Homo-oligomer: A and B are copies of this chain.
Amino acid sequence: MPDLRPEAVTRLAAHLERLPGVGPRTARALVEHLLVVDEGEVDALAQALADLRGAVCHCSRCFLLTESDPCPVCSDPGRDHGVILVVEEPTTAWAVEATHQFNGVFHALLGHLSPLHGVGPEDLTIDALIDRVRSSEVREVILATDPTVEGETTALYIARRLKDLPVQISRPASGIPVGGELAAVDRLTLAMALESRREV
C-alpha cells in the first residue's frame, strides 16, 4: 500500500495541479487545507466553480465576458458608444475600466493574429468589429492590442481593414511606465518613449 490518500484526494490534487502556478506540493497542501476547513466553504467554492462557465458568456456585441447579453457596458446609455477600445482579451478591458479614464465602449478580439499557430482574422471577432464601425456612429477606434509582435500585427491588420471608413484610428502611447526607473526600462520601450517625446 504505497499511498493511503483516498481516491477523492488524489483526484482533486490532480485537477488542482493543472492550474497555472500549482505544482504537486501546492496541490497537496491545498487539498489538505480543504480537508480540514469548514465543509460549507468547500461546497461554496465548488459551486462558484460550477457556476463560472455556465453563468458567464461573451456579449454578442463587444465580446466582453458578461452574465447578461448585451453586457452592462453595451447597454449603458451613459457610455460614449462613438469610441470603441479594442483589446485582445476581455480581462484587459477590466484593467482599463479600473483606471476610470475611459467612458467609451469595448471590443474584445478574443486573441491576436498568429499565423504560426494557425490563428487568422476569421478566428477573431474582427469582422464583427468592422460591422459595428460600419453600422453605427463610431468616431474613433482605439487599437489597444498588446505591445507584442502579434499585437502590433493585429492592430496593423485592423487599421488596414478600417482605413476606408470615416473613423479615426489610434493606438495608446508607448513609453516609460509611471513610477518606473528609466534605467530599468527595456531598450525598445526607451527608444519609443524618446521618439514620442513631447515638448514641456
Task: Spell out A's residues near B (CB within 8 Å).
Answer: 1-9, 11-12, 15-16, 18-21, 26, 29-35, 39, 41-53, 55-56, 64-67, 71-73, 76, 89-91, 93-94, 97-98, 100
Contacts and interface: CB of A to CB of B under 8 A. Distances in A.
Can you tell how many copies of this chain the complex includes?
2
A15 B5 CA distance: 25
A56 B41 CA distance: 16
Contact of A48 (B11, B20, B35): B11
A21 B26 contact: yes
Nearest to A96: B4
Secondary structure of the A contact surface, majority rule: helix
Contacts of A49: 12, 34, 42, 45-46, 49
A94 B55 CA distance: 38
Contacts of A91: 32, 35
Given A1-B76, A6-B67, A29-B21, A46 B35 contact: no
Rank and list the top 5 A-B pairs by shortest CB-CB distance, nearest first.
A46-B49, A8-B55, A46-B50, A12-B48, A15-B45
A56 B10 CA distance: 12
